């Protein structure tokens, strides 16, 4: 994978561009969170203007995974409202699609997306998650809510959205209570042998060595890059994708001091450094 390590950038500061890579949707605005220039896979915020729609059936040659941030999409007669989720494999036919009132949608393509000339191609149904309303799901903690095979620490809960049947890659929502410090096992920094992709939906997520990630904060956390320790003064709600294998945490034995108010010191590629400002928090008492 050719995407650089990103930890972290606030999406509020990223510019809007016209159209999704590959030309399948030229009539939307896009913020590119990360992009693989070799295979075209990408993570985006896609803004569909009010009245956007498609009159003819269409399908893509890429898997489209999405989570609605604001507004609503309509696909095949079903409404995907705020915080609705889907994973639509390559070939999935959208007989109808629209956004009558507009929508902002966190969107992931596993390759550069192009329109398939004739809709109705075979779809890998083992990877299809057609619709989840995450607002109707219960948060789950402990061993049942685990996404690593080990019980979640106290104050952490998840909503599981997808697990790939072959790679064990997964997507889930991850939440913590306020005043949540690093768990006892996290004495210093930590990393993963796979990629962890994070988008902050609400609250703040603190990396002791990188700063405070607020709503709209984004990470493409590359393999074997170590950061942290991590916690939150406010609590948080994160959308997380695991890419390149099952989720596994690796903890450093070398201690690193934790603070809820670290300096802003993100790890960014050169092209994102102009957008690496801290989130504009206001003092609260």
pLDDT, averaged across the chain: 94
H-helix or E-strand containing 6? strand 6-10
Query: Which residues, in sequence order, are CB contacts of 26 under 8 Å at separation 6+?
Result: 18, 19, 20
Band (pLDDT 50/70/90 cuts) for residue 281 is low
Which token pair is 208?
């002791």
CA angle 263, 232, 152 (to 5 degrees): 135
**CA 208 – CA 199 distance, rounded (Å):** 18
**CA 77 – CA 97 distance, rounded (Å):** 8
Residue with token string 């889907």: 86
Q: What is the pTM of this model?
A: 0.95
- Pick the more confident residue, 57 or 197: 197
| pLDDT tens track for 217-273 | 999 999 999 999 999 999 999 999 999 999 999 999 999 999 999 999 999 999 999
**Residue-range domains of the chain with CATH:** 13-136 (2.60.120.10), 156-275 (2.60.120.10)
Query: Which residues, in sequence order, are CB contacts of 258 under 8 Å at separation 6+?
Result: 181, 182, 206, 208, 228, 229, 231
**CA 70 – CA 102 distance, rounded (Å):** 8
**CA 43 – CA 34 distance, rounded (Å):** 5
Residue with token string 């990223």: 14
Kindly report the number of other CB atoms within 10 A of residue 263's CB atom: 11
**pLDDT score of 285 more than 50:** no
Which token pair is 172?
């889930």
Band (pLDDT 50/70/90 cuts) for residue 280 is confident
Band (pLDDT 50/70/90 cuts) for residue 2 is confident
**pLDDT score of 53 more than 80:** yes
């Amino acid at each position: 994978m050719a995407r650089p390590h990103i930890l972290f950038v606030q999406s509020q500061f990223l510019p809007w561009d016209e159209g999704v890579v590959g030309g399948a949707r030229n009539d939307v605005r896009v913020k590119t969170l990360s992009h693989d220039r070799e295979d075209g896979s990408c993570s985006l915020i896609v803004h569909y203007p009010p009245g956007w729609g498609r009159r003819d059936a269409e399908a893509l040659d890429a898997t489209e995974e999405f989570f609605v941030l604001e507004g609503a999409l309509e696909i095949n007669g079903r409404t995907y409202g705020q915080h609705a989720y889907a994973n639509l494999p390559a070939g999935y036919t959208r007989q109808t699609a629209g956004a009558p009132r507009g929508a902002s949608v966190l969107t992931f393509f596993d390759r550069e997306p192009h329109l398939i000339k004739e809709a109705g191609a075979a779809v890998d149904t083992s990877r299809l998650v057609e619709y989840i309303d995450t607002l109707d799901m219960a948060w789950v903690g402990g061993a049942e809510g685990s996404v690593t095979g080990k019980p979640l620490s106290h104050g952490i809960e998840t909503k599981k959205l997808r697990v790939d049947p072959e790679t064990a890659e997964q997507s889930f929502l991850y939440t913590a209570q306020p005043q949540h410090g690093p768990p006892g096992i996290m004495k210093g920094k930590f990393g993963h042998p796979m990629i962890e992709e994070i988008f902050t939906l609400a609250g703040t997520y603190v990396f002791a060595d990188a700063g405070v990630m607020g709503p709209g904060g984004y990470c493409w956390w590359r393999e074997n890059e170590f950061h942290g320790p991590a916690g939150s003064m406010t609590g948080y709600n994160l959308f997380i994708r695991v890419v390149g294998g099952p989720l596994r945490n690796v903890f450093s034995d070398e201690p690193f001091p934790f603070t809820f108010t670290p300096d802003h010191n993100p790890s960014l590629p050169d092209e994102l450094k102009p957008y690496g400002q801290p989130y504009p928090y206001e003092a609260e008492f």
